[in-house]
Each structure stands twice: as C-alpha cells, then as structure tokens.
Amino acid sequence: MSSTISTHPATGIPRVALVTGGSGGIGRAVVDRLARDGFAIGVHYAGNRAQAEATVAAVVAAGGRAIAAGGDVADEQTMSAVFDTVEAEFGGIDVVVNTAGIMLLSPIATLDLADLDRIYRTNVRGTFVVSQQAARRIRPGGAIINFSTSVTRAQFPGYGAYVASKAAIESITLILARELRGKDVTVNTVAPGPTATPLFLNGKDEATIATLATAVPLERLGQPDDIAETVAFLAGPARWVNGQVVFTNGGLA
C-alpha cells in the first residue's frame, strides 16, 4: 500500500472516503483500493463488526488510516451518526461509496413479499438514506458512488425484485447528480456483472456459475478488484464523469 496521503488538488486537505458494506466482498476490495490511493477510510458494517475491524486493522497495518462504524443503512439517525463519526475522526468526507445491499432471488410469481420488503429496505431506502446524508455533507470536489447491477440489462429470470431495487438506485443517482448542480460533486452508479463474491455465489451450483461466467465475452467471472478499479476511477480522476451508470461487466450484453 502506498504511504502517500490523497489530498484535494485545490485545497491540499487529506481526502476521506466512507464505504458502506465495507467489510466484505466488493466493499472490502473498494476499501483496500482507496486506501492504496491514500484515502482515510470509514469502513461501515451492518452486522459483522469483527470483519469490519479486521478490515480496518489490515489498512492500518499497511500504513493507512481507517476506522469502523456500524449501523443499518436504512435508518437515517443511525447513518447520520456514522457520518458524524467519520467526520469527527478525519475532519470531513469527500467520497461515499454505497456498496451495501442484499440479493434474494425468486420468480416474481412465487416471491415472498416479506423478502421484497427486505430488499427494498436495504437496497432502495438504504441507498436513499446514504445518498441524502452524502448530498448534505460531501466536500466540494467529492463523489457519490452507488451500486446497481448489469442484470438490469441482462434480465435473468429470478432477479425481478432485486433488479427492480437496483433500477430504483440508478434513478436516484441520475436525479441526484442533477440536483447537486454547482456543488462540484459527481454522482454515478457502478453496475457490476457476475462477480465472485459471497452475495453472488450463495445458492448457485457449479453449473449455474459456469454458465454465467461463459456468458461474458471475457469468459470469466469478475473479481472484486475489477469493480474496485472502476470505483477508484470515479472517486479520483474521473471529474468529467457525472450522472452515469458505468457497466463494469466484461462485456455482458
């Protein structure tokens, strides 16, 4: 990991990122990647405090700066406190990466509506709450990065409720980018394709995984680091990319 501290090009102030769902999967890869770029990191977790603290310890051991902060992304008071904690520790927030989300798969005809409510609470309300806090607090020159899925275009059966929640996230992102006119804050969504994370692999047999991998022209599953590279681009040099959905999927149609 680089020991160089990332600073705002105009002010020289050290840059700070808050990553929701930062203790595992894509979130953990994003934490590691931004830490290598010199960001101080707030590692948010929903339930696995030990995993979040291990993530923080790894960043600190490599010469970086990080703290853990937990809470339900859909609870506005809790997330306000998370933002407060990160700001108090590091002096402000420049980038918010909202990787927190859940995926429950079922045909629409048989979906338990309680599962629909769970998906919407975390994915839609959670993204809205985090985006709202970020819109109020991020310093000029910053970035908000939300997460969708390439299945909004691939339209796999069984993904109806999940894709509906992610399509809502895309809409929230595109509107917020325009609402923040004049604030010098970019707002984008990353839409990964099939990526080898526990969220994606859980409940799938080897044949299904192989089929999804070969559906990609590059003929492999994405890795969390592949997605983290796109996030690092949007968090850093990509100041002219705004109000976009970036499909990071190896060419999946």
How many CA atoms lie within 13 Å of 211's alpha carbon, on the beta-carbon side? 6
Judge whether 162 counts as a catalytic residue. Answer: yes
| Of 45, 120, 159, 162, catalytic | 162
**Active site positions, annotated:** 162
